Amino acid sequence: MFNGLRVLEVATWTLVPAAAAVLADFGADVIKIEHPVRGDPQRGLATGGVAPSLNGVSVTMEQTNRGKRSVGLDISTPEGLALLYRLAEQSDVFMTSFLPDNRAKLGIDVGHIREVNPDIIYVRADAVGRSGPDAGKPGYDMSAFWARGGIAHALTDPAWDHPVRQRPGFGDKTGAMNIAFGVAAALYRRERTGTPTVVDVSLLGTALWVNSSDVVYSKAIGGDFSRKEIKVTNPIGHYYRTADGRWIALLMLESDRWWAPLCRHIGREDLLSDSRFGDAAGRTAHAAECVRELAVTFASATLAEWRERLAPLKGPWEAMLTLPEVLEDPQVVANGYIADVKHPSGQDVTLVRAPVQFDGELPDLRSAPEAAAHTEEVLIELGYSWEEIGQYKECGAIA
């Protein structure tokens, strides 16, 4: 899809790098700029024990930086900045997570990059948005997306003594797909009109979109919808615990369509002749009694037993899986949602593919680069001689 497209990534951590990784999955030549000494600070998450490693390989870096080329470049030096501009001249997209003050200080804001390449698509992503009193405020997904965006509040039981904690990269990975969409739309516009675009994505804006139902419902009722007591009105749109402490999720919104087949598959044909539960209206009026009947039934067998008994029922029900079970889910495997990528160390690293497929084909994923692994290769492509590359190394502009 993006073969022939060059993306220049000047970013750290996850939000922008994950978006660039999606573009790389589909053929873009992504050049990741890293500090020649420190690299992307995300590389330190594994060594610091924050994220796991696989025999010394950072799975965090592999997931969010696969398929790229890494150039070690100190853009705070005049020589390094000049090299960055050379790369920008030959790029289609410039992506950054640097905040406004740093962009201006380093000379990588929109005006600087457009001066060397007027047609480039410029992408900037941040915590809380480009406007407003907090514009330029630093932040990460747990702060800007999870906390400020209201998601932590919506998911935290008021009786708990601490907020529910975000799972790793929730806001970043979601925002990354927004960025990828923005890039694709900007490329389409440029192809049709010749006009380049500045694309803005924030973690806060991403949070509002993800939680837009709660947000607009709260506005509609003039209160906090996440604290509104929602009574069960459809007993077959509910969770039920199994005998071994697992859960079955039913979401049979067309209640009259699924009630009889469900009762037969769970061995409760007697409920079909119960006048209280004869139709959707009756099951709503007697929801508590119906839920109790179903709860007792589902508690009588293990999850494995229920999965076997419900397998012929091609309705909207699912078992609540653990993460190891998700990895082995036949649907996940059959659709290629995960992939084993061969790392240069010789071991396979399991990664999650982007949730988009084109023409039924799965792109081959490539390993993430070591820091500055492609510096010389890229500079040679730009036409620099080995003597010039040596000079840039001596002055500290490159690794």
Q: Are residues 13 and 73 in the same domain?
A: yes
Range of the domain at 254: 239-326
pLDDT at 53: 87
CATH number at residue 49: 3.40.50.10540
To the question of pTM greater than 0.75 for the whole model, the response is yes
pLDDT tens by residue, 102-120: 999 999 999 999 999 999 9
* pLDDT higher than threshold 80 for residue 49: no
Mean pLDDT of 249-253: 97
* pLDDT higher than threshold 80 for residue 96: yes
Q: Are residues 257 and 290 in the same domain?
A: yes
Mean pLDDT of 123-130: 97
Q: Are residues 112 and 182 in the same domain?
A: yes
Mean pLDDT of 113-142: 97
Q: Are residues 319 and 348 in the same domain?
A: no
Q: Are residues 73 and 115 in the same domain?
A: yes
Q: Are residues 205 and 292 in the same domain?
A: no
User: Last residue of some domain: 277, 301, 326?
Assistant: 326
Q: Are residues 64 and 91 in the same domain?
A: yes
* pLDDT higher than threshold 90 for residue 44: no
User: Last residue of some domain: 295, 326, 357?
Assistant: 326
- Cα gap 58→311, rounded to integer Å: 38
pLDDT at 285: 97
Q: Are residues 208 and 89 in the same domain?
A: yes
Show the tokens assigned to 246: 């697992």
- Cα gap 86→390, rounded to integer Å: 17
CA triple 210-216-220, angle to 5 deg? 165
Total domain count, the chain:
2
Mean pLDDT of 264-280: 97
Burial of 44 (0-12, 13-18, 19+ CB in 10 A): middle
User: Last residue of some domain: 291, 310, 326?
Assistant: 326
Q: Are residues 255 and 285 in the same domain?
A: yes
* pLDDT higher than threshold 80 for residue 158: yes
CA triple 150-226-239, angle to 5 deg? 115
* pLDDT higher than threshold 90 for residue 51: no
* pLDDT higher than threshold 90 for residue 251: yes
CATH number at residue 281: 3.30.1540.10
pLDDT at 50: 76
